[in-house]
Structure 1
Amino acid sequence: MANPYQVTPPQAPRRRSGGGIVAFVVLALIVGGIYGASRWLGKDDGKPAASASASASASAKPTKSSDPGNPESSSDTSSSWKVGDCGGPDPENQPDGYRPQKCSASGATFKAIDIKDASMFPGSIQCPPGTDLMIQVSISYGNSKKGGIPTNTLCGRNLSGDHPGDPGAGGGQLVQGDCVTDQAQEVPCATAGSGSSKVLGLVKQKSECPSGTTEPMQLTMAIGRPYDVICTDG
């Protein structure tokens, strides 16, 4: 006799085959989207969209800035400079190009005496005394030899006997022993006229000037510059 309280459970609903199709379509769309993005970010031939250039060139002529903390400088698109390396003009990128060369090569004109990190503020980069030129080192992409992303700053010293970066010579960055006009413009000490004075120190505050200072020059504020006062003997 059948149990009157027994309830026959309903049959489980039959799984529709369409759900598997939908899941497959969604998965295919995701995979296709990833593949399309990868193709968009790269070249069609499978090569990367950008490659580091090994060429060396300068795209800017050396310019003299009125800021005593920003000396003559230029730019180079080689990213492999080391202290002790030499370089010279790049004949393939005249008139402002530079490229690494052996120090014994006839075309070598300077040697790297220090390598600094790149900076958005040129005045914040301080090269060692005796630096005759500063070269912005960049890495470029594609076949372009100009421009690029700054990576380092090369502090160079001429291989010849001409050293404008030496104290008192009138070039390079301002250092102790240089001479300046009453407008804080660096001039060669040998030809400095009346109104010029010798730099005794470069400090943040006038109270930090060394003894013998008679005319401390307060400079306008410059981001990154390590000093704000030029201590001179008047």
Structure 2
Amino acid sequence: MAVNNTQRPRGRVAGCLQAVLVPLIIIGIISAWNYFKDDESPSSSSSSSSSSSSSSDDKGGDSDGWKVGDCGGPDPDKGSDSYKKLDCDDSGATFKALKIMDGAILDDSIQCPAGTDIIIKVSISFGSSGGGGIPSSTVCGRNLSGDHPGDAGAGGGQLVKGDCIDSTAKEIPCASAGPDDYKVLDLVKTESECPAKTTDPLKLTLGIGRPYDVICGRKAA
């Protein structure tokens, strides 16, 4: 039986393949990094509190970081519910940033300060797709007009200390509150944290991410 002495040992073949594959893998990683870096296309999504105090997930914002004092307004080029940064003296500016908070996937985990009329949820997406994205920040904005539904007691925006609610914990304007309605004295995690003047602490159902579980209330009238 003839023996073929030209066959290479398996170990040497594997070594050769490794020598070829390692630089190819490195080149592939570098190429992929450059592709995603060049194709990076930040975008934003927003959740805006309208004058009727409702909140909805919208698209909006621009790629630059927001700062307190920045102004913004609708961005019709990106959709009817989109927003972008604008100079405060721009005719299209409708709100000013009161506070910049961390981004969050859960809406209830963000609690903007009293006076917030609109909430812009800014997120960053990578690639040409404009949908979804990674939450990066939240803009708590105040209207530049005289319409301020987020003021304490005005009946709109997020629930804050000084607001009024009905017996179902729905926010209402304090000006129209009756004997069966309540004034919000504080928003806390446990009843024991409510202020002394609290007569009607309202324990809420579980809300994932919500910074409070109890509404400390007393009769509004």
Q: Deviations over 1:53-106 (max 9, x none)?
A: 355665x67589xxxxx9725443534211111000002023101111100000
Q: State the secondary structure of the residue aligned to 1:29.
A: helix
Could you tell me how far 1:26 is from its partner in structure 2? 3.9
Q: Corresponding residue for 1:196? A: 181
Q: State the secondary structure of the residue aligned to 2:140.
A: strand
Q: Corresponding residue for 1:35? A: 27
Give the aligned length: 209
Distance, in Å, in 1 between the alignment partners of 2:209 and 2:23 is: 49
Distance, in Å, in 1 between the alignment partners of 2:140 and 2:154 is: 17
Q: Corresponding residue for 1:213? A: 198
Could you tell me how far 1:134 is from its partner in structure 2? 1.0
**TM score, norm. by length of structure 2:** 0.80
Q: CA RMSD in A?
A: 3.1
Give 1:226's match in structure 2, choosing from 211, 216, 219: 211
Give 1:51's match in structure 2, choosing from 14, 23, 39: 39
Higher-Rg structure is 1
Distance, in Å, in 2 between the alignment partners of 1:176 and 1:156 is: 18
Structure 1 alignment gaps of length 5 or more: 1-15, 65-69
Structure 2 alignment gaps of length 5 or more: 1-5
Q: Corresponding residue for 1:13? A: none
Distance, in Å, in 2 between the alignment partners of 1:160 and 1:24 is: 72
Task: Name the % identity.
Answer: 51
- 30-39 vs 131-140, which moves further: 30-39
Change (3 A) 1:49 1:207: closer
Q: Corresponding residue for 1:90? A: 75
User: Could you say which structure has the higher strand fraction?
Assistant: 2
Where does 1:72-221 land on structure 2 (aligned, <5 Å)? Answer: 72=55, 74-75=57-58, 76-79=60-63, 80-221=65-206
CA contact (8 A) 1:77 1:139 kept: no
Amino acid at match of 2:24: G
**TM score, norm. by length of structure 1:** 0.76
Q: State the secondary structure of the residue aligned to 1:48.
A: helix
Change (3 A) 1:229 1:33: closer
